[in-house]
Structures are given as C-alpha cells and as structure tokens.
A and B are shown apart, each in its own frame.
Chain A
C-alpha cells in the first residue's frame, strides 16, 4: 500500500474519532492533536485496526512514537 493511500484513510479515521479535520504528517504526535489523550488513543488504535484490517502487536502499540511510525507499521502489517 502507498503511503499516500494510508494517509488518506488515516485522515478519515481521525475525522471520525475526533469529530474534526486533523492534519497529519510523519512528525505528528498525540501532543499535536487536541483530544488525543490516553483514553481516546485506545479508540483511535482500535478504529485504525478496523479500517486497515490489521492487529498491532502489543509491543508496537506501546512503542509507536509518531504518525510516521504508525504509517510504517500499517504498511508492514498489511503487506
């Protein structure tokens, strides 16, 4: 899957979960997105798993630092 496609589908997920447009880049972290707290993070990860039909291993869920790493992981898991 192309990064651009992953980003476009991620943007849909973020819009639904946070109920607003969110601009995403590789360096984006939770601190940059209002409402992305530890509780909404659970909903976000679950919704991303649903959208891309992937299941993140537990070590990755706790290890991902920013949106760039998230996108890498999605591409890796859906390959």
Chain B
C-alpha cells in the first residue's frame, strides 16, 4: 500500500475535495487491495441526496480497514424507512444506521408572528426519536445521527440566537435535545455537523444551487468533512481508533535541540510567541491524556539530555505524564515497534508525531498502519492532530479516564518483578483480587468495547455491539463472565470476557478474550475455573474451545493446550477445535488470585 501513499494522502485533513472527488475510483481500487478488511453493512437513511456522502464514506472507511456495503434510502425517505420499514432494508440487516438529516429537514420552525415560547423543540425531536426507537427495536444496532447545522441566513440578525423565535436559537435547542438523548441512550451517536460547519465555514458549507438542483444538504466541498466524521464514529464503534501517541522532543514538544542548545535555551513558556506555541501544544496533549490517550516519547537524543529537557521548569508535561520514554539513536521505527511490544499494544495503535519529514517517512514505510500526520509549523500542531480524528470515542468510560494511571502501574509491576526470581512468588506479592461474574448492566459498554478492541489475546475475534452483548447476557442458552483484576498497584478494571453457549451437554466457548495489560497474571486460569464451574452446574460434560487465526492473535494459538484441552480438529487455515472433558471433575488452575463471585 505504500506505493499508494500520495493517493491516500487525499484522505487526510484538510481535504482537497476537487482532487478527492476526481480520483475516487482510482483510490477505491487501491484501498480495496489491502488485506484483512472488516466487512460492515451500513444503512444510510437520508433527508437529502446521499450519493456523494456514501461514496466518500466508503473511501474513509476503507482507509480505516473497514469494507462497507451500503443500503441507501430513496430520496428523503429516512423517516418512512425507519418508522414503517422496508423489505430491502429489513433484508439488509444493518450493522450501523446513519441518518443523514440536516437543517433542511426542519419543518416546524417557531412561529414568527406569535408570542415567544420555549415550546416546539419537543415536537421536532419526537419525530426523530420515533425513528431512533423503531430502528433500535428492529435492528438493535448503533445509530449515527447528524445534529443540525445553522441556516445560511438570520431573519433577526444577531437577535436570531437570542430570541426564542429565532432559528439560530431553535437549532441550538434542538441540538441540545439530541445531545441529551444521546447521553442517556448508548446506541445513539451524534455526528456534530453544527461544529463541522463552523470549522469549515458556514458560508462555504451551504450551496443554494446544489440544494435546488440536486438536493445536496451541504456543498460538495463540505461532503468529505461530513463523511470523514461519520467514518470516525464508525471506526470508534468497531474499536479501530488509535490508543497512544509517540512524540518527538526537539522542535516537536519544545523549540530547539536540547543536545546542542542546552536545556536552558529551549523555546518554551509564555515569554516568546514560539515558546507559547509549544506550551499550548503541550497543554493540548496533557488534556488529551486525561481522556485516556497514552503519551510516549521517541527522541534521537542522549538519554540524559532528553531527561534534562523533560525537567525544564516550563514544561507543562512532566516526566510522569509519559508512559514510555525512548531516547537513543536507534531508528525510530524500531523504537516504535519495541515500545508497542512493551506496552502490549499494536504498532498500528500509535500516532507518530515528529517535525522531521525524514523520520515521518521511515515510520510510514516501516510501520505502515501507524498514523503519521503532516503537522506543519508548531502553531499548526494542535489543529493537525485534532483534525486527524484518531482518538474519536463513542463513550468516555471510567477505564478511559484511568488508562494512563494503569499503564504507569504496569511499569511499577515490571520493576517489582525484576526483584523476584520465582514468578509465583512475584504473583503472590502483587496481592491480586479478582471479581468474576455474569455480565452486569454497568459493564455492558466496556464489555462491547473490549470485544471490538482486543485483537491479540482473542481466540475467536468475534465482535459484538452493546445491544448484542445485552441480548446474549439475557439469554439462558449462554453463560457469560467478565473478569476484573485489582492488585496492590491499582485497579485494572474489566480485563477478561468469556461467553459460552450451551449445546447439548457441551459448553462452546464462542468468545474468549483478555486485555494484554494483564498478560501472565493467571487471570485466564481464573476465568476458566469459573466458566467450568458454571458449565458443570448446568450439566455440561465437555468444554469446547475454538481458535480462529488472524494476523494478530498468534499469541493464543496454543491457549487451549495450556489449559489442558485436547485438539479435536484443525483445518488447513489453522482453525482449530479443542475439547476438555469435565465429566469426572476439574482441577482449578488459578492459585494466585483471590476470586470474589
């Protein structure tokens, strides 16, 4: 795919719409060549023409490793399709529904000739709510819904935003009502076209000729922006977002070269304009890390020089804000791979930020799926990183907020381990406490997230939406268990998920995954002990496990062997079935984690 990089760069913000529209067929062909694309069915229900939106959406999804097939409603049939259904849509069975409506679909504006009143919002929102509820009921799948952009005119001028009869004011109230619904309904994500239009420029966003001629809700130039944002939400839904940043130091986090200029001469802090730019970039990164993005450093420097720079009194980011700091003279691509391995992440989960084009190029070539943005001058860094959409989240879970702390604790565990020669003694010293229970409502979102994000320690790599997880949990034919793990350094949160389906006197393990942050802690044994006990209580005599190889789950090829299973069959692709006979008892294998049920 590297040969296609000039083409793929058309898919990076800011979008050159003309070139992108024109090269679409060629780009599509190139993107379809990539192996391992995840297939998803996306229904686009439009309140305006959706043709170009879908065409651009396809490109952005392909670029993210998702191969979509589309259902498109007839022109402006979004509500009829959602509420009354349609055999073609029913047969399509969407994985995601995207409702592409806009301010052009608002009908009942507050009456201008009447007294001002707060009413009106509920009537309009009710129309959309009916659609969301029907879709949720019928397809049980995530919904992506545009909010409303502003009209290209203001009848009341600046008063339009203040007066309850103003349409600017009404759009704001509608958007607040949509957001409130989305906050309380996990299945709904809002595509914020109101912000997108502001960012893009409202005057360029609307195109009256395209509206009247072709019923385009926004100008052709704006469509890549809309499609890109929808693709970002889809990729977040299926766990394809990035998790970590690998940041350069010299001229990326501060101005100057610490090894040459000395730490006292770095440009940083509010005394100079350039120094302020670096400080603001650092503040952005610090805030980003609080949402769960992991900060790391890869710098070509002597370690003591890097340390001296990081200790600069004007640094917003302190050494503690970074999980891993690699300061050496090895190729950055090697450092990135090593860092990913140490953090139990995939190299493709990283965004690599470096002011040096040569460093960006080597990482682009050597680590093809890591994101390597063009970042411009220091005053552009925030905008370039922010518009990349790499860290888009569907929900901000408690785990996201604690992630940096958890990775830091892992580093402390690694230090402790180096003091023990007996691994079991080390495990005991961690004073681990586990909680293993059937799926519970408060964890449904985290469980769905894990099924979509876990690639390495994942036996069947089966993805679930939250709705599917809830349905499975409620179904008597399934045994579900989540596992949380705490130890003396902190709480790892929910880290293991298992789903078994009872088939006759066997329990089939249709999902078995664990977060790599708790590798080699015996959590998988504790989970198996619980699943076997639950299966035996339901009369199962055999536990059946499956291993389906992917490009990423080689580490668990022999998982069931380690668990004492016997291989029953294996096809040429390596898909294997394993069985464990539990009719005559089962010897628990976890000896280091104290389990609460």
Q: Which of chain A's residues 34-56 have a Cβ closer than 8 Å to chain B?
A: 39, 42-43, 46-47, 50
Quick check: is A2 within 8 A (CB to CB) of the other chain?
A: no
Q: Closest residue to A47 on the B side, CB-wise?
A: B22
Task: Verify A58–B22 contact, CB threshold 8 A.
Answer: no
Q: Does A13 contact B (CB under 8 A)?
A: yes
Taking the closest CB of chain B, its distance from the CB of A13, in whole angstroms, is 7
| Residues of chain A in range 16-44 having any CB-CB distance to chain B below 8 Å | 16-19, 39, 42-43
A44-74: CB near B (< 8 Å → 1, else 0) gives 0011001000000010011000000000000
- Do A43 and B213 touch across chains, with their CB atoms under 8 A apart? no
Q: Report if B209 contacts A (CB, 8 A).
A: yes
**Residues on the A chain within 8 Å of B22, using CB:** 13, 16-17, 47, 50
User: For residue A50, which residues in chain B have a CB less than 8 angstroms away from its CB?
Assistant: 18, 21-22
Q: Are A19 and B21 in contact (CB under 8 A)?
A: no
Known: A16-B26, A39-B51. A46 touches B213 (CB 8 A): no
A74: min CB distance to chain B, Å: 16
In the assembled complex, the Cα of A6 lies from the Cα of B23 at a distance in Å of 20
Q: With A and B bound together, what is the CA distance between A61 and B212 in angstroms?
A: 11
Interface of B is mostly: helix
**Closest Cβ–Cβ distance, residue A64 to chain B (whole Å):** 12
Check A46–B51 contact: CB distance below 8 A.
Answer: no
Chain B's closest residue to A61 (CB) is B213
B residues in contact with A19, CB < 8 Å: 25-26, 29
**Chain B positions within 8 Å of A39 at CB level:** 49, 51
Q: Contact between B212 and A43 (Cβ–Cβ < 8 Å)?
A: no
Say how far B59's CB is from chain A's closest CB, in angstroms: 13
In the bound assembly, the distance between CA atoms of A48 and B220 in angstroms comes to: 13
Map CB proximity to A onto B216-236 as digits: 1 under 8 Å, 0 otherwise.
100010000000000000000
Name the residue on A nearest B19 (C-beta).
A50
**Chain A hits for B23, CB < 8 A:** 16
Given the complex of chains A and B, what is the CA–CA distance between A71 and B319 in angstroms?
64
Q: B212 to A46, Cβ gap below 8 A?
A: no
Contacts A58-B209, A58-B213, A62-B213 given; indicate if A42 touches B25 (C-beta within 8 A): no
A47 CB contacts on chain B under 8 angstroms: 18, 21-22
Q: Which chain B residues border A46 with CB–CB below 8 Å?
A: 21, 220
Asked whether B52 is an interface residue with its Cβ less than 8 Å from the other chain, the reply is yes
Q: State in angstroms the CA–CA spacing of A58 and B210 once bound together.
A: 9
* A39 to B, closest residue via Cβ: B51
Contacts of B21 in A (CB 8 A): 43, 46-47, 50
Cα separation A35 to B209 with both chains bound (whole Å): 24
Query: What is the interface size of chain A, counting residues whose CB is below 8 A from a CB of the partner?
Result: 14
Among A13, A18, A50, A62, residue most surrounded by chain B Cβ atoms (within 10 Å): A50
Q: Does B214 contact A (CB under 8 A)?
A: yes
CB-based nearest A residue for B28: A19
What CA separation (Å) do A8 and B212 show in the bound complex?
31
A4 to B21 alpha-carbon distance, docked (Å): 25
Which of chain A's residues has its CB closest to B220's CB? Answer: A46
CB contacts (< 8 Å) of B220 on chain A: these are 42, 46
- Contact across chains for B52 and A43 when beta carbons are under 8 A apart: yes
Least CB distance from A46 to B in Å reads 5
**Which residues from 33 to 84 on chain B have a C-beta closer than 8 Å to any C-beta of chain A?**
49, 51-52, 55
- Which residues of chain B have C-beta atoms less than 8 A from A43's C-beta? 21, 51-52, 55
- Chain B residues contacting A16 (CB-CB under 8 Å) are 22-23, 25-26
Asked whether, in the complex, the Cβ of B51 is within 8 Å of the Cβ of A58, the reply is: no
Q: How far is the CA of A61 from the CA of B213 in the complex (A)?
A: 8
Interface mask (B127-159 → A, CB under 8 Å = 1, otherwise 0): 000000000000000000000000000000000
Chain A residues positioned under 8 Å from B52 (CB to CB): 42-43
Q: Which residues of the partner chain A approach B214 to less than 8 Å between Cβ atoms?
A: 42
Report the separation of the CA atoms of residues A16 and B52 in the bound assembly, to the nearest whole angstrom: 15
Residues of A within 8 A of B25 (CB): 16-19
A19 to B52, CA, bound (A): 16
Across-interface contacts of A61 in B (CB, < 8 A): 209, 213
- CB A14 to nearest CB in B, in angstroms, measures 11
Complex CA gap A1/B214 in Å reads 29
Shortest beta-carbon distance from A8 to chain B in Å: 16
Which of B22, B25, B210, B214: most chain A Cβ within 10 A?
Answer: B22
A-B contact pairs, 20 of them (CB 8 A): A16-B22, A16-B23, A16-B26, A17-B25, A19-B29, A42-B210, A42-B213, A42-B214, A42-B216, A43-B21, A43-B51, A43-B52, A47-B18, A47-B21, A47-B22, A50-B18, A50-B21, A50-B22, A58-B209, A58-B213
Given contacts A42-B216, A50-B21, 14 further A-B contacts (CB under 8 A): A13-B22, A16-B22, A16-B23, A17-B22, A19-B25, A39-B51, A42-B214, A43-B21, A43-B51, A43-B55, A47-B21, A50-B18, A58-B213, A62-B213
Top-7 shortest CB links A-B: A19-B25, A50-B18, A39-B51, A16-B22, A42-B214, A46-B220, A47-B22
- Interface, chain A (partner B; CB < 8 A): 13, 16-19, 39, 42-43, 46-47, 50, 58, 61-62
